[in-house]
Amino acid sequence: MFKHLSEEIACVMERDPAARSKFEVALLYAGFHSIVIHRMAHWLWQRNWRILARLLSQFSRFLTGIEIHPAAVIGRKFFIDHGMGVVIGETAEIGDNVTLYHDVTLGGVAPSIDSDSQRGVKRHPTLKDGVIIASGAQIIGPITIGRCARVGANSVVLKDVPERTTVVGVPARAVNSAHKTPTDERFAAYGVGSTELSDPVFKVMDGLLDKVQTLSMRVEELEREAAARDATPPAALKAGKKTDGTAAHKGKADQ
């Protein structure tokens, strides 16, 4: 038990430069408190002390602002940074060395209208080892986030994510290829490393907006030219025509 607690504290020290000491982590970090209480609640849940397990998990929610269902399976060195608003559903499975930031939801989908048929059915995500989920991300359904994958802030993930892939956007789309991702597993805060996190759809939209702006400026220029021609006095127009006619007549006379 104490070995696991020491691991949990050590992983916080590794991933959060704001942590000054192990004592500070143990005393003040809500993410650490939530995982410790979850370990106890999960132990009770596995032994069919379901009401007591739920009571303990609700106490943890009140204390930390983090809601973890006692049935959720969580591996070693799990770190929730900041923590407030995190929700982890009943059938969620989390591997080792996973990091979640605040407002992350590991939510479930209903396979049918009948709630009785949903019990015991996998409804929530599976996060493999080394996954990083940035703040505000929503991972919905019985999907799998591959090993060392990263999910950008405020993304909505509805499909499986291959290992070592970074996804962003609503719905989330890959912004890199697995073979282009560095092979090391160094921690990257908020899932932001050297990878470009721009949404590919937004890139296309930005290009279209630039084109529209260019065309709009050209239309405005043509409208100004048309307005200038319309604003020319009629006398000036007649004089111009008369001058042209005189020149034409003179040209004929010369011939």
Domain enclosing residue 23, as ranges: 2-195
Which value, to the nearest 10 degrees, does the dihedral of the CA atoms of residues 151, 153, 157, 160 take? Answer: 0
pLDDT for 250 equals 52
Does one domain contain both 190 and 210? no
| CB atoms inside a 10 Å sphere around CB 115 | 8
Q: What is the pTM of this model?
A: 0.71
Does one domain contain both 32 and 11? yes
Q: Peptide bond before 17: cis, by omega within 30 degrees of 0?
A: no
pLDDT for 72 equals 95
| Residue type (1 letter), 252 | K
pLDDT for 183 equals 46
pLDDT for 3 equals 64
pLDDT for 244 equals 53
pLDDT for 204 equals 64
Chunk the chain into consecutive blocks of 10 residues (it has 255) and report each block's average pLDDT, rounded to whole numbers. Answer: 78 90 92 94 95 95 95 94 92 95 91 65 94 94 94 93 91 73 58 57 69 83 80 61 53 52
Does one domain contain both 223 and 119? no
Number of domains observed in the structure of the chain: 2
The conformation of residue 161, written as its DSSP 8-state character, comes to B
Does one domain contain both 115 and 221? no
Does one domain contain both 40 and 163? yes
Kind and range of the H or E run holding 174: strand 173-174
Does one domain contain both 147 and 239? no
pLDDT for 154 equals 92
DSSP per-residue string spanning 29-90 = -HHHHHHHHHHHHHHHHHTT-HHHHHHHHHHHHHHHS-EE-TT-EE-SS-EESS-TT-EE-T
Does one domain contain both 154 and 224? no
pLDDT for 215 equals 84
Phi, psi of 102 (to 5 degrees): -65, 155
